[in-house]
Structure formats: structure tokens, C-alpha cells
Amino acid sequence: MFSATRQVHYSLDNPGESIDLVLFINGLAFATLELKNPWTGQTARCHGQKQYRTQRDNKQPLLQFGRCLVHMAVDTDEVYMTTKLAGQSTFFLPFNKGHDQGAGNPPNSYGHKSAKPALPIS
């Protein structure tokens, strides 16, 4: 059974800390996502990655290596992923399709950039 939970409070040491979205299969977390958007002036590349590197306690069970398969920083145009949170040493890979041998995703005349352009709404 697949489920998604918003604003997951993951830390007993810092109960106010939460992760934007956690994905589960049969109750086991497999992905955490920090969601950013242009309306708040935040990007996955800058703010999402920084949040994982500096504000997320990787000693907490949900964020320990091997507990969750992937941690993703996501905005409306780009996605970045890592499999291991290691503070400032955390290395993120782009999870984007690319465009004209460059970073990011291709233009989408029907909405935001994405790895797979959405179909028009009819």
C-alpha cells in the first residue's frame, strides 16, 4: 500500500522540525521530499539542498543512512536527490531530464517544466 504524508515531524529532540512530504510503501518510508516554489522565492538547488545539509538532523531514525532510500529537493522546475545525508558533505545529483545538453528540464507549453511534459487540459 502506497501513502504520502505531509509535514512529518521526525525529531524527538526538535519536535517543531518537519519534512514537507514523506512517501511510504506498506508503512515503510522510502523517500523524503523538501518542496520549494517560486512564489516563496525558494529553489530546490539552493534552499532545498541547504535545508537537508544544515537543518536536518541525520542522527534521527528517519534520516539515517539505510532507513530511507532517497531524499529529494524539489521545485516546479528541478529535482535533486541524495541517498545519504552527511551534513555539509551531502552530495546531490540532478534528477532532471535535461534540455539542449544543459541542466534542468525542457520547456513545457502546458505548465511548469518537468521531466515529462503534461498533456493539455481539454
Q: Where are the domains of the chain?
A: 2-94
HSE-CB at 113 with a 13 A cutoff on CA atoms is 17
Mean pLDDT of 30-53: 94
Band of the pLDDT at 77, cuts 50, 70, 90? confident
Residue 116 has a pLDDT of: 55
Distance CA 23, CA 79 (A): 16
Band of the pLDDT at 105, cuts 50, 70, 90? low
What type of residue is 36? K
Answer whether residue 102 shows pLDDT above 90. no
Identify which of 7, 82, 95, 79 has the alpha carbon closest to the alpha carbon of residue 43: 79
What type of residue is 59? K
Q: Strand pairing partners for 74?
A: 35, 79
Helix, strand, coil percent values for the chain (each to nearest 5) = 15, 35, 50
Residue 95 has a pLDDT of: 82
Rg over CA atoms, the chain = 15
Answer whether residue 101 shows pLDDT above 70. no
Long-range own/partner contacts, residues 104-112 (CB < 8 A, 24 or more apart)? 104/77, 104/78, 105/77, 105/78, 112/76, 112/77
